[in-house]
Structure formats: structure tokens, C-alpha cells
């Protein structure tokens, strides 16, 4: 079975939101949140030709994905701080353990709902298949997909272990191991996507399809999370940062004489 591709008419044809919605395009289901699958597993997009070209939407498909990575970076900071508090040099009292379990669980739910359920679903439906069909970065795409799968397993494990409140030393040790593994994998994961995958994706995608993708990503966010998705997600991660005491950006500035 050949890899699905996204197609568009030659030239920079304009596309409308109506054309997008009538195209019947879909998204491969991500873990945690089901996403409707259309013809061609969401990888085929045909731009509807309009008499007058429309401007490229203010937020492109790549910008949407990179905003998501900014959110992911902040969650990784929460994971890193939680791991530090679980270390042998920072013993956790029972009350603190329960609070930490809640913070980590909230962060893992955000990973499951938004990063895995939406962001990775978009990549797997629209980005990875197109690159593979074009013969671009196939080995990297294979690794990224494997990391998505591994990340979902880690998230499920993190949610399981935090459900019991981290009342035992074994639970705290297991959680720290999983948090460290997740951070270690996703820091290079998102860096490779930002510097290799997303630039290649833009390079091989015609402008007409690019417009469709921007609208598709925005409409899928609205469908899953309602309006102002990024604001909602930032508020969720900000609350976790406040619980962990890492909400002050200035606190990350090195002190002392340069």
C-alpha cells in the first residue's frame, strides 16, 4: 500500500474555509482524544480553486506546531522540577508527595490531551506521511513516530503511578525514572522537529495546501478544545508551574558577576 500524499492544483490557488470543510479531510486518531478519520487517513488534501486568492492565514501550520512545542517545553520544566524534588537529596514528606503527585498528574493529563491527542495527531496525519511520500527524512520520521509511541506509554505509566499519591519510596523512584526518560527523549525530539522536519515540511508543501493546513489545524483545535486553545493550555500549565514554585521567569536568570 503506497503512502498517502496531499495534492493541490498547480499554482498559488486560493482556498476558502468552505472548501476546507467540504473536502472531507480527516486526522489519524491520537492517543487520549479521538479524531475523525477521513478519506486517505487525513493525508490527502485537495485545494478548492477560488477566483480570488486569499492571504495566507496569520498563523501557519508550522507556527501552530511550534507554539505547541513552546507549551511542551514548559511542561518539561515542570517534569524536571518534579524529578528534582523526588531525588535522594530532596526527600518528600507525605503532604508534599500528595501535592507533587497532583501537579505531575495535571501535567501528564495536559500532555495526553493536547500534545498526544492533538499535536502528535496532526503530525502523524499531515506532516509525517507527506515527508515520507516525498522521500524526505524517512529515518528521522520513523524515529519520531517511535518516540510518540514510547511517550504515550510513559504518560500512561506516569498517570498510573501518581493516582496513588506517591505514598511509597518505590512509587516515587519509579515516577522519577519515567519523568527523566520523558524529558530526555522529548527535548531532542522537538528540537529535531523544529530544525529539520518542519522546515522540510514547508519546503515541499505548495502554498494552496499550506493555507488549507493552517485552517485545518485551527478548526481541529476549536473542535477539540473550543476557542482560544493556546490561552487555555497556557493557563493550565501556569497553574502547574505555580504549584511547583517555578512560575517566575526571572528566577531562571543566573545571578552573580558575569
**Residue among 23, 52, 2 at smallest CA distance from 213:** 23
Q: What is the pLDDT of residue 113?
A: 96
Report d(CA 256, CA 258) in Å as an integer: 6
Q: What is the pLDDT of residue 71?
A: 97
Spatial CB neighbours of 100, under 8 Å, sequence gap ≥ 6: 82, 85, 86, 92, 166, 244
Q: What is the pLDDT of residue 45?
A: 53
Q: What is the mean pLDDT of each run of 10 residues along the chain (258 residues)?
A: 39 39 40 42 51 61 94 98 87 77 97 97 97 97 98 98 89 95 98 97 95 93 93 96 95 84
Q: What is the pLDDT of residue 16?
A: 40
Residues 62 and 201: beta-carbon distance below 8 Å: yes
Q: What is the pLDDT of residue 167?
A: 83
Amino acid at each position: 500500500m503506497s503512502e498517502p500524499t496531499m495534492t493541490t492544483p498547480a499554482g498559488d490557488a486560493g482556498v476558502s474555509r468552505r472548501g476546507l470543510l467540504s473536502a472531507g479531510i480527516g486526522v489519524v486518531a491520537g492517543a487520549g482524544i479521538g479524531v475523525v478519520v477521513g478519506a486517505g487517513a487525513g493525508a490527502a488534501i485537495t485545494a478548492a480553486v477560488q477566483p480570488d486568492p486569499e492571504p495566507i492565514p496569520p498563523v501557519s501550520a508550522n507556527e501552530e506546531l511550534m507554539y505547541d512545542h513552546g507549551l511542551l517545553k514548559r511542561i518539561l520544566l515542570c517534569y524536571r522540577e518534579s524529578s528534582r524534588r523526588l531525588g535522594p537529596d530532596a526527600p518528600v514528606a507525605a503532604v508534599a508527595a500528595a501535592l507533587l503527585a497532583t501537579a505531575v498528574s495535571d501535567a501528564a493529563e495536559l500532555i495526553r490531551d493536547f500534545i498526544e491527542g492533538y499535536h502528535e495527531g496532526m503530525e502523524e496525519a499531515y506532516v509525517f506521511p507527506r515527508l515520507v511520500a516525498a522521500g524526505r527524512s524517512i529515518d528521522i520520521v520513523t524515529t519520531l513516530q517511535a518516540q510518540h509511541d514510547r511517550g504515550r506509554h510513559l504518560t500512561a505509566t506516569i498517570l498510573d503511578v501518581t493516582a496513588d499519591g506517591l505514598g511509597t519510596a518505590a512509587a516515587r523512584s519509579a515516577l522519577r525514572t519515567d519523568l527523566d526518560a520523558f524529558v530526555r527523549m522529548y527535548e531532542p525530539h522537538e528540537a529535531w522537529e523544529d530544525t529539520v522536519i518542519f522546515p522540510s515540511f514547508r519546503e515541499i508543501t505548495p502554498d494552496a495546501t499550506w493555507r488549507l493546513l493552517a485552517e485545518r489545524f485551527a478548526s481541529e483545535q476549536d473542535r477539540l478544545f473550543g476557542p482560544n486553545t493556546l490561552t487555555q493550555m497556557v493557563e493550565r500549565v501556569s497553574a502547574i508551574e505555580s504549584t511547583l514554585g517555578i512560575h517566575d521567569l526571572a528566577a531562571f536568570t543566573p545571578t552573580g558577576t558575569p
